[in-house]
Structure 1
Amino acid sequence: MYQTPSRRTQRKEVTKPNLIPILDAVFIFIFFLLMSANFIKVFEIPSDVPIISDREPPKTDKKPLALTLKIYQSSISIYTGVPGRNVRSFQKLADGNYDLEGLKSYLIGLKKSNLDEDTAILEPVVDLSYEDIIKIMDAIRMLRNTDPDIYVKDRQGMDVKLKTLFGKIIFGNIQS
């Protein structure tokens, strides 16, 4: 007599894998990744793009300051007016850094005589390191607590202390 093999008659039920321990391990792993991650602060320094227009600039009686700082390998030269004329240069110090304190004190005097001006144009003529650009921008933009106070009248006629020197910085040209 013919007998069917036993493996044909017995059906094994397919078992599904238990995913709960795997999901627990994944969530714990994500939790530890988030807890061990170093979050850094990203700082942004606003800078405007030069405006190019075919229209004539608006007519005013006051001549624009047009403050331009040309940064050379050994000095920073300040140009004002249109067309720009060199009014002052600051040589590098003996330690190889730019004379940012002298630059800042000159710009404070310039700001006192041009309270409504807020724009400075940076024109690096040489390749500069990122740190040098940031130091120069900070010297142009920020007024420290130890700097002389500069006051301007607001719309109500009240004196308001300025917190920045030339806060709008435009890059005239950028070297690669």
Structure 2
Amino acid sequence: MGRFMRRARKIKVDHNSEFELDLAPLLAVMVKLVPVLLVSSAFVQMMVIETELPQVVSEAIQRQDEQKTPTNVAMEVDAKDGIRIIVTAKGQEKIETIPLKDGAYDLQSLHQKLVEVKKAHPEVFKMELNPDGKVSYDTLVRIMDAARQARDNNVKFPVFDTKQGKNVETNYMFPEIIFANTMEG
């Protein structure tokens, strides 16, 4: 009987050894995946352009969000017609069109028009952007640059500073840009 038990115990040990996991292939896959993940995460960081806005401008954007009927500035970018600036204030729409110049977007005229819009509505720091599907990414970046801040250092806009309790000057125009039609498929 003792011999039988010994044999049974031995069989049990052999039986367990059949189910040992060989982790070498899994480790090999992990070793190959880690560099791929590191490289891809570095790319993601490169694609995000972080820009710090002055606190005064950030607070002004927040105030604009809290308004029930804020003045709305929108830009429609069309591959054929050019760029339309639509300002909706107190329920009234005003449309300015900047046509294409020699088949390209007239970014100089666009910037000048946006400076005029900003002077008329200094409390607005947010803009909606509705690009046509045919407009290139590079063009959109240049349009957003034209809207972000005044290029002329002498051009300043008033913004209310809650800490000082008075208006201060900034050269930021429309740093907060929202793509309004990106959800439309």
Unmatched segments (≥5 aa) in structure 2: 1-42, 51-64
Matches within 5 A, 1:1-80: 42=46, 44-45=48-49, 60=68, 63-74=69-80, 75-80=82-87
1:142 and 1:59, CA in 2 relative to 1: closer, same or farther beyond 3 A?
A: closer
Counterpart position of 2:115: 108
Q: Is the 8 A contact 1:68 1:79 kept in 2?
A: yes
Counterpart position of 1:14: none
1:58 and 1:79, CA in 2 relative to 1: closer, same or farther beyond 3 A?
A: same
Unmatched segments (≥5 aa) in structure 1: 1-38, 47-56
| C-alpha distance in 2 between matches for 1:44 and 1:145 | 27
TM-score, normalised by the number of residues in structure 2: 0.56
Counterpart position of 1:160: 168
TM-score, normalised by the number of residues in structure 1: 0.59
1:44 and 1:164, CA in 2 relative to 1: closer, same or farther beyond 3 A?
A: farther
> Which structure exhibits the higher relative contact order, with contacts defined as CA atoms closer than 8 Å and separated by 6 or more residues?
1
Q: How many percent identity over aligned positions?
A: 27
1:45 and 1:136, CA in 2 relative to 1: closer, same or farther beyond 3 A?
A: farther
The amino acid that maps onto 1:76 is I
Aligned-residue offset at 1:106: 1.2
Q: Which runs of 4+ in 1 moved over 3 A?
A: 57-60, 82-86
